[in-house]
Amino acid sequence: MDIKIKVQRFDSKINREPYFQTYDIAAEPNERILDCLNRIRWAQDGSLAYRMSCGHGVCGSDAMRINGICSLACQKLVKDCKGPDIVVEPLPNFVVIKDLIVNMEPFFARVNQVRPYLIAAAEAASKEFKQLPEDRKKLDGVIRCILCACCTGACPNVTANAKFLGPAPLVQAFRCIFDSRDSQHLERLKQVDHSDGAWGCDNLFKCTQVCPKEILVTKSINLIKQEIEKSLR
């Protein structure tokens, strides 16, 4: 089938405003939007800029807005995009560097803010640190996060409040708060107990709707809020 892909273009070194460029290509319904972008770049326009790496929903580098929905280009199929044109834009809530490439540094700085790694008690360091299957199960959903930032791109609370930690960093916080082996439970709760932390989420569920790994992001944030009420009040 012949399709039109309308891509938002912008080069911060050249353009003052973004603009759209439409490419005509032939594509199979089961092809992914990433396949289409690759073909455009390889055969039509080598200047088109976007990130990709694994091509299989693992690295999270090709998050973008496709027909208004934040998605991974390597997971979104042509047949799932309603025409006439397929509109591809960079992730909202991020500064665009070039075309579909956004500056991810502030996002990863926020992730690092929550210390997204296990901090075990000193006595646990010298031996195997076991976890009960039921405790491990509590982390089943959140460990799927690939930090693609689709959730942050889709979140109206991030749009309204530039200081809001945002959904993905809160998912990382959840990962550690509810890890039975972590020694910083209360400190971690205190770290997100404010209006720019867990309480910055207004339960709009946009993050949950777009998460390519089907993580219950909003529910996870609400569980953090409940834990704050239980343990800090």
Binding-site ranges for ligand FES (CB under 6 A): 52-55, 57-62, 72, 74
- Indicate the residue among 62 and 179 with the shorter CB distance to ligand FES: 62
Rounded CA gap, 197 and 177, in Å?
14
- Indicate the residue among 55 and 106 with the shorter CB distance to ligand FES: 55
Question: ω before 84 within 30° of 0 (cis)?
Answer: yes
**Rounded to the nearest whole angstrom, what is the least distance from the CB of residue 51 to ligand FES in the complex?**
8
Helices (H) and strands (E) in the chain, counts: 9, 7
Question: Which residue bears the tokens 């993050």?
Answer: 207
Pinpoint the alpha helices (H) of 167-216: 167-177, 185-191, 206-210
Within 10 angstroms of residue 77's Cβ, the number of other Cβ atoms is: 14
**Rounded to the nearest whole angstrom, what is the least distance from the CB of residue 158 to ligand FES in the complex?**
21
In 3D space, the residue among 31, 14, 40, 136 whose CA is nearest the CA of residue 74 turns out to be 31
- Indicate the residue among 37 and 114 with the shorter CB distance to ligand FES: 37
H-helix or E-strand spanning residue 133? helix 133-137
**Rounded to the nearest whole angstrom, what is the least distance from the CB of residue 72 to ligand FES in the complex?**
5
- Indicate the residue among 58 and 204 with the shorter CB distance to ligand FES: 58
Residues counted in the chain? 233
Rounded CA gap, 9 and 45, in Å?
12
**Rounded to the nearest whole angstrom, what is the least distance from the CB of residue 61 to ligand FES in the complex?**
5
Within 10 angstroms of residue 172's Cβ, the number of other Cβ atoms is: 22
- Indicate the residue among 18 and 55 with the shorter CB distance to ligand FES: 55
- Indicate the residue among 59 and 120 with the shorter CB distance to ligand FES: 59
**147 near 63, Cβ under 8 Å?**
no
**Rounded to the nearest whole angstrom, what is the least distance from the CB of residue 7 to ligand FES in the complex?**
17
**Rounded to the nearest whole angstrom, what is the least distance from the CB of residue 71 to ligand FES in the complex?**
10
